[in-house]
């Protein structure tokens, strides 16, 4: 089973899509990676979902990636004594450390660290930005605010503080427990929410120790300001446009999406575009034209993957949503303008052997119209360098490590195959040709190009290029 598109699709599992039959339908419809949202998943359900995904993986014979998305420090107001209150523009409203139920003049904010960090002039955005408060006076126990944009406020609504750097890490006590459970379940990616600084990633890396890739969700202004440092410490990025559009002006989000996508591609690290891509398909069998254009824009931009959230997790049409995203991606990638745009954005190779060889392999494959690029990759680094080049020919990533193949399933254009490492140059050529033939990428008489490292089995040693013919029996020849 192979995909005929380069961009990958992430599908979030939830009430509409957690049974084994639907998970397999989602994968066959186009989902390459499954996201498990730890905000709504306990550890028992996490293990059940991972087991079901691995069963589907065995049924279809392809590596499938699993991403566990940690909740992060979700900030919320307390409760109100008599139900929701209506905050009028210009009124005074207080957030304080008093746990007593609130009223139209005040409410409990059960996050002392926010109160300690607030300063006059800072904004507080409540209920996904529907209500905006401006801080007039602040102390360690209360913030005296004026209502800038009013509205109805009810119990436990979320709070965003775009102007304030909260002096706590992105890992809460719940997140630490969820992280341990996700690693024990052998998930492939950990997504970290609401990061503000590189140190947030360093904390997670100390725990993961390479057992899973670390994906930084970019959704706060503080993360944008320190994007190069965050990118350096992460294995992948996610453009989390929902919270990013709450904490920053909406009109800035499209430009930031392009900025983040291109920064990740220059670094050779996967980037996922997420949130509200086909939002109307939660309740409708077809998307809006604007949503189709939104997905297409991310594909044209060269994102590694596009993601479905509530559409596949809680919507009425989870499989249809994946099929729709798959069709949009196919159509974009058939557009002659697509290759022109992807080519125009291609970054210069980094001054390393692996980058130089990956760039040369792409150029040779395109010049000679070869059937495929085949890269042997143990750690996954060579596969990511091949993906970074965005070649016009298919890329097959062969890895002896099943975890590497699963992790690479999120990267643009990589068809991942678990295979023993080559024992010799002849075995390297023969194995690459046989797999290219059996996976329907190359026909007898066509040529492929192979990248590998000598000595074989040594991670990070990519130093060889070979062009090989696929023989009549699928075996290789020089």
Q: What is the pLDDT of residues 215-251, one digit of tens each?
A: 999 999 999 999 999 999 999 999 999 989 988 999 9
- To the question of pTM greater than 0.85 for the whole model, the response is yes
Per-residue pLDDT of 25-62, as tens digits, reads 999 999 999 999 999 999 999 999 999 999 999 999 99
Q: What per-residue confidence (pLDDT) applies to 476?
A: 66
Alpha-carbon torsion (205, 208, 213, 218), positive or negative: negative
Q: What is the pLDDT of residue 353?
A: 85
pLDDT at 432 over 60: yes
Burial class (CB in 10 A: 0-12, 13-18, 19+), 402: middle
Which has the closest alpha carbon to 274: 300, 230, 242?
242
Contact status, residue 370 vs residue 394, Cβ threshold 8 Å: no
**pLDDT value of residue 155:** 93
Mean pLDDT (whole number) for 63-88: 94
Three-class SS state of 138: strand
Q: Over range 334-362, report the average pLDDT.
A: 93
What's the confidence (pLDDT) of residue 296?
98
Residue percentage of the chain with pLDDT more than 70: 98
Contact 378, 399 (CB under 8 A): yes
pLDDT greater than 90 at residue 461: no
226 is catalytic: no
The pLDDT of residue 254 is above 80 = yes
Q: Which of 419, 406, 379, 411 is nearest to 395 (CA)?
A: 411
Interhelix angle 381-388/353-367, rounded to 10 degrees, is: 50
pLDDT of 290 reads 97
pLDDT value for 192: 96
Q: Which residue in 424, 427, 434, 377 sits closest to 400, CA to CA? A: 377
Angle at 114 between CA 112 and CA 116, to 5 degrees: 70
Tell me the longest C-alpha to C-alpha distance in the chain: 81
CA distance 431 to 466: 13
pLDDT tens for residues 123-138? 999 998 899 999 999 9
Q: How confident is the model at residue 435 (pLDDT cuts 50, 70, 90)?
A: very high
Partner residues linked to 123 by β-bridges: 134
Taking 90 as the threshold, does the pLDDT of residue 477 lie above it? no
Q: Is the pLDDT of residue 111 over 90?
A: no
Would you say 374 and 435 are in contact if contact means Cβ atoms under 8 Å apart?
A: yes
Task: State how far the Cα of 126 lies from the Cα of 66, in Å rounded to an integer.
Answer: 32
Q: According to the model, what pLDDT value does residue 478 have?
A: 53
Give the C-alpha separation, 176 to 180, whole Å: 6
**Quick check: is 76 catalytic?**
yes
Which of 22, 275, 382, 404 is catalytic? The answer is: 275
Q: Is the pLDDT of residue 10 over 80?
A: yes
Nearest-angstrom CA–CA distance, 124 and 412: 38
Q: Over pLDDT 90: what percentage of the chain?
A: 84
Residue 470, pLDDT > 80, answer yes
Does the annotation count 362 as an active-site position?
no
* CB neighbour class for 385 (10 Å; exposed up to 12, middle 13-18, buried from 19): buried
pLDDT in tens, 149-162: 999 999 989 898 99
**Domains observed in the chain:** 8-72+169-337 (3.20.20.60), 85-160 (2.40.33.10), 353-477 (3.40.1380.20)
* 434 catalytic per annotation: no
Closest among 205, 271, 200, 252 to 230, alpha carbons compared: 200
What's the whole-number average pLDDT of the chain? 94
Task: Exactly one of 35, 197, 269, 434 is catalytic; name it.
Answer: 35
The catalytically annotated residue of 217, 220, 241, 434 is 217
What string of DSSP letters covers 8-20? EEEEEESTTT-SH
């Amino acid at each position: 089973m192979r995909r005929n598109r380069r961009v990958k699709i992430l599908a979030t599992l939830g009430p509409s899509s957690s049974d084994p039959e639907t998970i397999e339908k989602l994968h066959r419809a186009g989902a390459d990676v499954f996201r498990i949202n730890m905000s709504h998943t306990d550890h028992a359900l996490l293990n059940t979902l991972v087991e079901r995904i691995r069963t589907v993986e065995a049924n279809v014979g392809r590596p499938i990636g699993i991403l566990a998305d940690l909740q992060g420090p979700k900030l919320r107001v307390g409760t109100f004594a008599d139900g929701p209150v209506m905050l009028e523009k210009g009124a005074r409203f207080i957030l304080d450390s008093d746990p007593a139920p609130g009223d139209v003049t005040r409410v409990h904010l059960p996050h002392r660290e926010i109160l300690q960090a607030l300063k006059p002039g800072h904004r507080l955005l409540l209920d996904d930005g529907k209500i905006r408060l401006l801080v007039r006076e602040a102390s360690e126990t209360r913030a005296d605010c004026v209502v800038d944009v009013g509205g109805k406020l009810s119990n436990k609504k979320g709070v965003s503080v775009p102007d304030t750097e909260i002096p706590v890490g992105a890992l809460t006590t719940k997140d630490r427990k969820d992280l341990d459970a996700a690693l024990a379940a052998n998930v492939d990616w950990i997504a970290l929410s609401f990061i503000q600084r590189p140190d947030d990633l360093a904390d997670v890396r100390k725990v993961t120790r390479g057992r899973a890739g670390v994906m930084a969700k970019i959704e706060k202004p503080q993360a944008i300001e320190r994007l190069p440092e965050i990118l350096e410490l992460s294995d992948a990025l996610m453009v989390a446009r929902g919270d990013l559009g709450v904490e920053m002006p909406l009109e800035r989000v499209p430009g930031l999406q392009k900025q983040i996508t291109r920064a990740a591609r220059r670094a050779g690290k996967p980037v996922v575009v997420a949130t509200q891509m086909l939002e109307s398909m939660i309740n409708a069998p077809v998307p809006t034209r604007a949503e189709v254009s939104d997905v297409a824009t991310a594909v044209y931009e060269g994102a590694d993957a596009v993601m479905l959230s509530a559409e596949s997790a809680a919507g009425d049409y989870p499989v249809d949503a994946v099929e729709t995203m798959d069709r949009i991606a196919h159509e974009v990638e058939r557009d002659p303008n697509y290759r022109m745009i992807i080519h125009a954005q291609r970054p210069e190779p980094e001054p390393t052997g692996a980058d130089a060889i990956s760039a040369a392999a792409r150029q040779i494959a395109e010049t000679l119209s070869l059937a495929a690029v085949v890269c042997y990759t143990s750690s996954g680094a060579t596969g990511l360098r091949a993906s970074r080049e965005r070649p016009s020919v298919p890329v097959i990533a062969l890895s002896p490590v099943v975890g590497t193949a699963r992790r690479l399933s999120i990267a643009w254009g990589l068809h991942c195959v678990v295979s023993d490492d080559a024992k010799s140059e002849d075995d390297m050529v023969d194995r690459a040709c046989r797999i290219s033939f059996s996976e329907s990428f190359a026909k007898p008489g066509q040529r492929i190009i192979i990248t590998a490292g000598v000595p074989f089995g040594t991670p990070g040693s990519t130093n060889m290029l070979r062009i090989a013919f696929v023989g009549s029996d699928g075996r290789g020849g020089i």
